[in-house]
Chain A
Amino acid sequence: EDQVTQSPEALRLQEGESSSLNCSYTVSGLRGLFWYRQDPGKGPEFLFTLYSAGEEKEKERLKATLTKKESFLHITAPKPEDSATYLCAVQAPNTDKLIFGTGTRLQVFP
């Protein structure tokens, strides 16, 4: 069964304290892996798409990487405004549907 698991469920960081969020997936023939950011009470906001193992994408303090079994979202020197829930999703072959993980809730304190 196709599945996405995110860890940790919650992460508390001091401002400037770099860390990584993990997204493990089991899907045959991954078409794409997506990262979203979701602020409380709002819809998810698209961040990155990764297509194949070894690929990396960067946006400001965020860098997403992909291997054959997992993806990492690295957060370098985070700021309080990076506080949000980060969602990972995968797209399997022959479908336009996505499978979502349950997210990592990140809190960054000044």
Chain B
Amino acid sequence: DVKVTQSSRYLVKRTGEKVFLECVQDMDHENMFWYRQDPGLGLRLIYFSYDVKMKEKGDIPEGYSVSREKKERFSLILESASTNQTSMYLCASSPRGQGVNEQFFGPGTRLTVL
């Protein structure tokens, strides 16, 4: 079974802090994704990585950056956390370019910025 793990289930940070969210997958998938999920807005893509050190902006990249130094690990960085970044953050992975690619999700990190 595909397993995607995220470093924290719940996180509370202060405004202005630098925040790191880590995601690890064990299925050797090329693609990894970071989403945020807010009530009424659904899942919105923040960043996408299709290979080590490769990244592509999603729909809402402002205020975020990412790092992918190893194939299995994809980090989301909030450079200076703000209250409007309070949300559920979801990481996902999928194979690359083999036709139809379902994504497999981690358990999510509920981030609260005070």
The interface of chain A, by Cβ under 8 A from chain B, is 31-32, 34, 36, 41-46, 49, 51, 87, 89, 91, 96-98, 100-103
Stretch of B12-20, B61-69, B75-83, B90-98 contacting A (4+ beta carbons < 8 Å): B90-98
The interface of chain B, by Cβ under 8 A from chain A, is 4, 31, 33, 40-43, 45, 48, 50, 58, 88, 90, 92, 94, 96-97, 99-108, 110
In the bound complex, what is the Cα–Cα distance between A51 and B42 (angstroms)?
A: 23
Q: How far is the CB of A26 from chain B (nearest CB, A)?
A: 16
In the bound complex, what is the Cα–Cα distance between A89 and B44 (angstroms)?
A: 12
In the bound complex, what is the Cα–Cα distance between A49 and B4 (angstroms)?
A: 19
CB contact between A43 and one of B40, B50, B94, B106 (< 8 Å): that residue: B106
Q: By the criterion CB–CB under 8 Å, are B102 and A34 in contact?
A: yes
Q: How far is the CB of B56 from chain A (nearest CB, A)?
A: 9
Q: By the criterion CB–CB under 8 Å, are B101 and A96 in contact?
A: yes
Q: How far is the CB of A39 from chain B (nearest CB, A)?
A: 10
Q: By the criterion CB–CB under 8 Å, are A46 and B102 in contact?
A: yes
Q: Knowing A97-B48, A102-B42 are in contact, say whether A46-B108 is a contact too (CB < 8 A).
A: no
CB contact between A102 and one of B33, B40, B48, B58 (< 8 Å): that residue: B40
Closest to B90 in A: A43
In the bound complex, what is the Cα–Cα distance between A87 and B43 (angstroms)?
A: 9
Interface contacts beyond A42-B108, A91-B100: sample of 9 additional A-B pairs, CB < 8 Å, sorted by A: A32-B100, A41-B88, A41-B110, A43-B105, A46-B103, A46-B105, A49-B102, A97-B45, A102-B40
Q: By the criterion CB–CB under 8 Å, are A42 and B107 in contact?
A: yes
CB contact between B108 and one of A34, A43, A97 (< 8 Å): that residue: A43
Chain A CB within 10 A, most for which of B31, B96, B104:
B104
Q: How far is the CB of B16 from chain A (nearest CB, A)?
A: 27
Kindly list chain A residues whose C-beta atoms are within 8 Å of the C-beta of B92.
Answer: 43
Q: By the criterion CB–CB under 8 Å, are A31 and B90 in contact?
A: no
Chain A CB within 10 A, most for which of B33, B90, B102:
B102
Q: By the criterion CB–CB under 8 Å, are A44 and B101 in contact?
A: no
CB contact between A96 and one of B31, B41, B107 (< 8 Å): that residue: B31
